[in-house]
């Protein structure tokens, strides 16, 4: 039986197309994916992302523990800040990409839904002598994501928290409709916006309150289909597509989230002894030059010779053409390089572009 978020019945009543996503029954879309994508890019959309894993770590050794397991430097991170990071295995491969919330008395790790049990097992297996308590709050703490250029304007109308003071990758605790929530300026769409954490008993009330506050301005609920097209345009990686346990943060161009100057962390030795000359592939973004739409697994060619594969491919509602992400031979990864994408016997022309493909507009 598939897992369900507290908003499952609401999704059913509002004609969402529900699909199996990482063993959760989640809304793929309510309207067309293109319309929902446009809503987030031009106004704001509300996502149910309560399938994501939420793990709270308490205890006097919580920072030292997280410092040892993650690639980024949480010791130097001020409180009420959020940090993008990786959990790596000893070979430098990515167990999961995560966001880490550092508060006065706890740390929260948000991980991918498909990796929640794996991450929990990894954390517990390395607990050792650290004085910490690890708690899985996925089923008690709901998570909403409100993304788009008018997200702050709409949300500010129903909370006393000063949203303008919550900078990118910061968070604060406030009230919405009298309910205590954690609000962070984070997201997975390439737009400005917030992720909201609250007790699961209040999820429906706060969900409906946000939609009510933004209805006159065109705010709508958005499914995971548009979440995927949005993140591909912004060139944000997805576990199982661009990253896995056989891929390192350095290979995907995310070395800035690996802090070699800090004390030993799991995977440091393998990553430290890696050099660019050892990488045989690079992650690229590309756009199609014709009508073809790339899909995961399609072959990437250069002058008819295979050089890699597509990791993620979509029809981009913003650019009105096919775009994608893929790994290619490192020496063919230069921006502007003409490539081809092959599916069966059909070959389509494409070109490598600068990442990210989409940059948020300044309104």
pLDDT digits (tens, 9 = 90+) for 205-247: 999 999 999 999 999 999 999 999 999 999 999 999 999 999 9
Residue 291: CB atoms within 10 A of its CB come to 9
pLDDT of residue 277: 53
Look at residue 183 in the predicted model and tell me its pLDDT.
Answer: 98
Domain check: are 43 and 144 in the same one? yes
pLDDT at 275: 61
In a domain, 275, yes or no: no
Question: Residues 212, 106: one domain?
Answer: no
Indicate the DSSP class of residue 214.
H
Give the domain CATH number at 123. Answer: 3.30.70.1400
* Alpha carbon distance 85, 134 (integer Å): 18
Which CATH number goes with the domain that contains 41? 3.30.1360.120
Calpha distance 326→235 (Å, rounded): 10
Residues 294 and 190 in one domain: no
Do 143 and 227 belong together in one domain?
A: yes
Which domain-ending residue is among 103, 136, 169?
136
**pLDDT tens digit sequence for 258-300:** 999 999 999 999 999 876 556 689 999 999 999 999 999 999 9
120-154 in b/e form (b: 16+ CB < 10 A) is: bebbeeebeebebebebbbeebbbbbbbbbbbbeb
Q: Do the domain assignments include residue 238? A: no
What distances in angstroms separate CA 168 from CA 172, 190, 244, one per listed residue?
Answer: 12, 12, 27
| 41 and 89 in a common domain | no
CA 253 – CA 126 distance, rounded (Å): 27
- Residue 169: DSSP 8-state: T
- Pair (148, 225) in one structural domain: yes
CATH of the domain at 328: 2.40.30.110
Show which of 136, 158, 174 is a domain's final residue. 136
- Residue 359 included in any domain: no
Residue 317 domain boundaries: 280-353
- Indicate if 333 and 295 belong to the same structural domain: yes
| Tally of domains in the chain | 3
Question: What is the model's pLDDT at position 258?
Answer: 98
158 is a domain residue = yes
Q: Is residue 240 part of a domain?
A: no
Instruction: Give the containing element (helix H, strand E) for 329.
Output: strand 321-329
Q: What is the CA radius of gyration of the chain?
A: 21
Residue 145 falls within a domain, yes or no? yes
pLDDT < 70 positions in the chain: 275-279, 361-363
Are residues 156 and 33 part of one domain? yes
Q: Choose the final residue of a domain: 117, 136, 155.
A: 136
Look up the pTM and report it.
0.96
Tell whether 299 and 216 lie within a shared domain. Answer: no
What is the structure's pLDDT at 363?
41
Look at residue 190 and tell me if it is in a domain: yes
Say yes or no: 21 and 165 in one domain.
Answer: yes
Position 311 scores a pLDDT of: 98
Asked if 201 and 330 sit in the same domain, the reply is no
143 domain-assigned: yes
User: Nearest-CA neighbor of 55 among 127, 132, 110?
Assistant: 110
**Same domain, yes or no, for 309 and 202?**
no
């Amino acid at each position: 039986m598939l897992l369900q978020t507290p908003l499952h019945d609401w999704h059913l009543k509002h004609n969402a197309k529900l699909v199996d996503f990482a063993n959760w029954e989640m809304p793929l879309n309510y309207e067309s994916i293109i319309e929902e994508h446009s809503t987030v890019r031009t106004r704001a959309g509300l996502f149910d992302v309560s399938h994501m894993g939420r793990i709270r770590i308490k205890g006097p050794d919580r920072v030292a523990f997280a410092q040892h397991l993650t690639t980024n430097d949480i010791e130097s991170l001020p409180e009420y800040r959020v940090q993008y990071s990786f959990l790596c295995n000893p070979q430098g491969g990515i167990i999961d990409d995560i966001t880490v919330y550092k508060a006065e008395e706890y740390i929260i790790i948000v991980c991918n839904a498909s990796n929640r049990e794996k991450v929990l097992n990894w954390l517990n297996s390395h607990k050792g002598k650290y004085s910490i308590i690890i708690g899985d709050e996925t089923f008690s703490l709901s998570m909403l994501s409100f993304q788009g250029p008018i997200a702050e304007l709409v949300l500010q109308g129903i909370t006393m928290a000063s949203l303008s003071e919550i900078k990118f990758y910061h968070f604060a605790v406030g009230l919405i409709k009298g309910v205590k929530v954690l609000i962070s300026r984070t997201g997975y769409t390439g737009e400005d916006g917030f992720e909201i954490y609250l007790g699961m008993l209040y999820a429906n009330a706060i969900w409906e309150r946000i939609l009510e506050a933004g209805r006159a301005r065109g705010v709508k609920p958005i499914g995971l289909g548009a979440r995927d097209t949005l993140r591909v345009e912004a060139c944000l990686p997805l576990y199982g597509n661009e990253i896995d346990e056989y891929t390192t943060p350095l290979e995907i161009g995310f070395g800035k989230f690996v802090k070699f100057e800090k004390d030993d962390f799991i995977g440091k030795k393998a990553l430290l002894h890696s050099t660019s000359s050892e990488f045989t592939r690079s992650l690229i973004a590309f756009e199609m030059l014709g009508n073809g739409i790339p899909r995961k697994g399609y072959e990437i060619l250069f002058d008819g010779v295979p050089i890699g594969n597509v990791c993620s491919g979509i029809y981009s509602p913003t650019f009105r053409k096919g775009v994608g992400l893929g790994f290619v031979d490192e020496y063919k990864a230069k921006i502007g390089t003409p490539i081809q994408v092959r599916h069966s016997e059909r070959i389509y022309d494409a070109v490598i572009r600068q990442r990210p493909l989409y940059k948020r507009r300044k309104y």
